[in-house]
Amino acid sequence: MRAKYLLAALLCTFAVAGCRNHQSQPAGEGSPAAEGPFAYVAFEGDAMLGQVVATLDDAYEIEAQDKVTVQKEGVRVELWAAADGKGVVALRSPGSAPVHSAADAGSEVVGTLVWEDGFCPVCLPCLGYEAGWFKVDLDGREGYLPETLATWDFADRN
């Protein structure tokens, strides 16, 4: 329960501060083939530690709410990409946006994502990314949000 509360607080912190599209890699890592936003994420066991922002000789610099340095031993790093259906999607700013049935502004609108000013934004599970559109799960229905209105974050949705 505590972990879910901390994750929710962390999501709100990211979103209220303005979710950013991650396209970073720790020093010494190769460029991924992933289309769209991505991040290198560090885990210790099943616990997500945060985004790896730098690789040192025997440690990683990790950013979640603050920057911390953790020893490499016992930590694994995974590439999380929107194209692979990892992370969450939220609106870039308070307001609303139509969720489309396809990655096309002319397609049918299947729902609306709303972020009320003064509240934490709603984060939808990311199911994929294609040509500037995030594929999302909106209450059990697949839909698409344009990257011009939405942003991706590596946050774990469990």
Enter the pTM of the model. 0.76
Total domains, the chain: 1
Within a domain: residue 3? Answer: no
Number of C-beta neighbours around residue 52 at 10 A: 23
Give me the pLDDT at residue 65, please.
83
Within a domain: residue 109? Answer: no
Which class for 110: exposed (0-12), middle (13-18), buried (19 or more C-beta within 10 A)?
Answer: middle
CA pair distance 89, 82, nearest whole angstrom: 9
Give me the pLDDT at residue 33, please.
54
Within a domain: residue 119? Answer: no
Give me the pLDDT at residue 6, please.
33
CATH number of the domain encompassing residue 42: 2.30.30
Question: Is residue 88 within 8 Å of residue 11, measured between CB atoms?
Answer: yes
CA pair distance 26, 62, nearest whole angstrom: 10
Number of C-beta neighbours around residue 87 at 10 A: 24
Within a domain: residue 59? Answer: yes
Among candidate residues 78, 103, 62, 97, the one with its CA nearest the CA of residue 156: 78
CA pair distance 133, 1, nearest whole angstrom: 33
- Which residue type does 81 have? A
Reading the chain (158 residues) residue by residue, the pLDDT tens digits are 333 333 333 444 444 343 444 444 443 444 455 578 999 999 999 899 999 999 999 999 999 888 999 999 999 999 999 999 999 999 999 999 999 999 999 999 999 999 999 999 999 999 999 999 999 999 999 999 999 999 999 987 65
- Which residue type does 94 have? P
Give me the pLDDT at residue 36, please.
86
Residue 126's SS3 state is: strand
CA pair distance 8, 48, nearest whole angstrom: 13
Structural domain boundaries enclosing 53? 21-81
